[in-house]
Structure 1
Amino acid sequence: MQTVTNEDAAGRRQPEPLGTLFRVVFGLSALSWGGLALMAQLEHHYVEREERLSRVAFADLIALAWMVPGPVGCNVAVQLGHALRGRAGAWVAGIASVLPFFTLMTLFAIFYRTPLIHAIASQTLLQHFSVVLATLIAVTWYKQTRALVRGKLEWSAAVLGCVALFYAHNAAAYVVMLGAAFGTGWFASRERDTRLAVSLARGDYRLLAALSLLLVLFALPVPHRYELALLWPRLAGAGMTLFGGGFSALPVLKILFVTPAIGVSDNDFTLAFSLSPLSPGPLLNVVPFLGYLIGGWPGALIATLALFLPSGCLVVLAQRHLHQLKTNPRFEHGMKILRAVTTAFLAVAVLRIAAHVPLKPIYLLTALFSATCFAKLKVPVYAVYGTVAVMCGLWLAFGAPSG
């Protein structure tokens, strides 16, 4: 197994200047709608064009990014920066990958709170946006199940995960479900004699202890009077449960933000996820929007750091032990079941969004149009939202009944 070192990354050229690294990653992130798009552009630039990394080395970065929680595209950018320029490069690349969508989603939140935007964002438009969002999640769920859910054990885990999530009413259920999925895969593996031998430094143990503490804080029930005070550390712990991509975060983030103590409404939350595909970056770019609604610019910044920083630290830590992780069959089997269970987050997200949309022909037509655009025509997400918004405006302008 080829490991990624600074010498491998540098290849035939001098080390990448930090300024250049920031400029390139920032520019690619600003033009990437979704984590997969960012990964593709990073590979094109640094593997094919600049030859800073070999294809095998970059494939290792992608494989590890799927193994740890958090946004896959940003995790790859952090690893790439670490491979090129060490810890400083990881920080620079991580900030550059987050900054474009942080700025745009915070601006969305600023204008959303103005009277003009509240007047424009009618209930009818929000429900049509909810239909588009549910359709986009459903198409994503279909693609993920085809890629990740194959054997009987994976299908059983996915179905049981749907049932568990449908009846779950607290954060601990997510942690227990994901832990049980990985444990089932670990113990069901046919390889019984392999051991996961990883040597950790003292600083590594401290980092893992801190992340575990945040995870426990998220999982444990918190009295209502402490929900706001503990929101950001609990958000950091929630990030440790997000293995299935941005859409999988919908039920996890909703249980944190949509409470009387926090003050984010269902409409605010749904609109955040509806605006998310209009901005570059992963679907987890909703976090700055929600953070701004709670605490302004400081809230947007703290929320973004809380969700993205722990996974970035974890992926850099895991990169140093990539060889042991990928070559252990029991670990990989556990991850297979874990990935299968994460598809349940998408399925339940669709059900919960659809439950709040009236069963009327106009919304079914929007769903059919969205499904055709996403699944067959490969129309960009922002174009679908824009078309639906224009059609909804014309519908309202000609006196159609709202709702």
Structure 2
Amino acid sequence: MAQLENHYVEREGRLSRVAFSDLIALAWMVPGPVGCNVAVQLGHALRGRAGAWVAGIASVLPFFTLMTLFAIFYRTPLVRAASSQILLNHFSVVLATLIAITWFKQMRALVRGKLEWSAAVLGCVALFYARSPAAYVLMLGAAFGTGWIASPVRDSHIVVSLARGDWQVLASLSVFLVLFALPLPHRYELALLWPRLAGAGMTLFGGGFSALPVLKTLFVTPAIGISDNDFTLAFSLSPLSPGPLLNVVPFFGYLVDGWAGALIATLALFVPSGCLVVVAQRHLHQLKANPRFEHGMRILRAVTTAFLAVAVLRIAVRVPLEPVYLLTALFSGICFAKLKLPVYAVYGTVAAACGLWLAHGALH
């Protein structure tokens, strides 16, 4: 987003700073990857519908290519042999630390009043015991509804006139969301995976790491066949690839169904949110001007912090409680929070230290 602002606002002056800020605000209001949603809106503002498609493809293509190539390389026996359980545990600790710091920053930015704190705590409890996608949909819907009802402004109404095409888009997204929420027999999980992934994208607020529990519900099942180790490693290495942290989706798609799976998975997750943000952009002023809608979104964003907290917890319980992993957590925390080191430097250092440790053990 900073690169887009620098090029189109400061250098070329195609948009004003206020107009670009409106794009960012709307991207946070709708589900999906924030950076890609801003790019799609920018393309739509500059070149209409064709510009939105070109901007969306341009923002997705780099990480789609890299993560699919990584999935191909990951399938080789050499990488399988090198991915020892000890290394995966250390990478999991680094990932949990990174998510924990992201959670702390979001809590400071999004959770302030008593209602937001209550929503965040109740969201953590609900997610901890949640075992179905329906729980995610109900929790987010209840959060927005609570914020709408509890808004101090009671006499405002949203008046939005939708075109026929907008209604068709919203109806299609609602069908995907229902498919994701409904409990399905195991034999239908693979057949309906991609429509359900599109519905899952409609629940993803608050950044890429918040998607970890949601995507795990879809992909780490006996019918799909992706293991816990595959899933955690993909999320561990996602910050090393350009693009949003949801760049893991083509990796999972390739593991399920090769190149076709990588392409369909990417389209299923990113196209619906792009369509939704374009529809919402036409009615941005009505949405922003309504205090009840904004209050509902505040509570909704507070609840999404629970996805990060539960993601940390679910990773932590899989790692043995040993001093060496606590040392990795301390090292990662200092690197990310204090030294502001890039993610690849931390992963590289941990991988090198783990390799030396394993080599030393093999010699003895």
**Range into which the TM-score falls when normalised by the shorter chain:** over 0.9
Return the letter of the residue paired with 1:239. G
Q: Distance in 1 between matches of 2:362 and 2:318?
A: 20
Q: Which residue of 2 aligns with 1:159?
A: 121
Return the letter of the residue paired with 1:191. V
Q: Distance in 1 between matches of 2:305 and 2:92?
A: 20
Q: Distance in 2 between matches of 1:327 and 1:195?
A: 10
Q: Which residue of 2 aligns with 1:351?
A: 313
Q: Distance in 1 between matches of 2:296 and 2:281?
A: 18
Match of 2:211 among 245, 249, 264: 249
Q: Which residue of 1 aligns with 2:93?
A: 131
Q: Which residue of 2 aligns with 1:380?
A: 342
- In structure 2, stretches of 5+ residues that fail to align are none
Q: Which residue of 1 aligns with 2:70?
A: 108
1:193 aligns with 2:155: yes
1:324 aligns with 2:302: no
Q: Alpha-carbon deviation of 1:66?
A: 0.2
Q: Which residue of 2 aligns with 1:314?
A: 276
Q: Which residue of 2 aligns with 1:30?
A: none
Q: Which residue of 2 aligns with 1:399?
A: 361
SS in 1 for 2:334: helix
Match of 2:108 among 139, 146, 157: 146
Q: How does 1:192-271 map to 2 (within 5 A)?
A: 192-271=154-233
Q: Deviations over 1:105-133 (max 9, x none)?
A: 11110000000000111110000000000
Match of 1:117 among 60, 79, 87: 79
Q: Deviations over 1:251-294 (max 9, x none)?
A: 00000000000000001101110110110111100000000000
Q: Alpha-carbon deviation of 1:379?
A: 0.5
SS in 2 for 1:232: helix
Return the letter of the residue paired with 2:268. A
Q: Distance in 2 between matches of 1:277 and 1:265?
A: 20
SS in 1 for 2:32: coil
**What is the aligned residue count?**
363
Q: Distance in 2 between matches of 1:255 and 1:50?
A: 44
1:80 aligns with 2:42: yes
Match of 1:62 among 24, 33, 53: 24
- Bigger mean CA offset, 332-341 vs 377-386: 377-386
Q: Which residue of 2 aligns with 1:176?
A: 138
1:49 aligns with 2:5: no
Match of 1:302 among 260, 264, 267: 264
Q: Alpha-carbon deviation of 1:382?
A: 1.0
Q: Which residue of 2 aligns with 1:274?
A: 236
Q: How does 1:15-30 map to 2 (within 5 A)?
A: none
Q: Deviations over 1:133-152 (max 9, x none)?
A: 00000000000000000000
Q: 1:152 to 1:400 in 2, by over 3 A?
A: farther
Q: Distance in 2 between matches of 1:400 and 1:266?
A: 27
Q: Distance in 2 between matches of 1:204 and 1:49?
A: 34
Q: 1:361 to 1:86 in 2, by over 3 A?
A: same
Q: Which residue of 2 aligns with 1:36?
A: none
Q: Deviations over 1:332-357 (max 9, x none)?
A: 00000000000000000000000000
Q: Alpha-carbon deviation of 1:41?
A: 0.9
Q: Deviations over 1:180-212 (max 9, x none)?
A: 000000000011110011000111111100000
SS in 2 for 1:69: coil
Runs of 4+ in 1 over 2 A off after TM superposition: none
Return the letter of the residue paired with 2:176. L
Return the letter of the residue paired with 1:378. K
Match of 2:55 among 61, 86, 93: 93
SS in 2 for 1:399: helix
SS in 2 for 1:398: helix
| TM-score calculated relative to the size of structure 1 | 0.89
| TM-score calculated relative to the size of structure 2 | 0.99
Return the letter of the residue paired with 1:73. G
Q: Which residue of 2 aligns with 1:367?
A: 329
Q: Distance in 1 between matches of 2:344 and 2:266?
A: 23
- State the identity %: 86
Q: Alpha-carbon deviation of 1:400?
A: 6.9
Q: Which residue of 1 aligns with 2:303?
A: 341
Q: Distance in 2 between matches of 1:337 and 1:252?
A: 19
Return the letter of the residue paired with 1:299. G
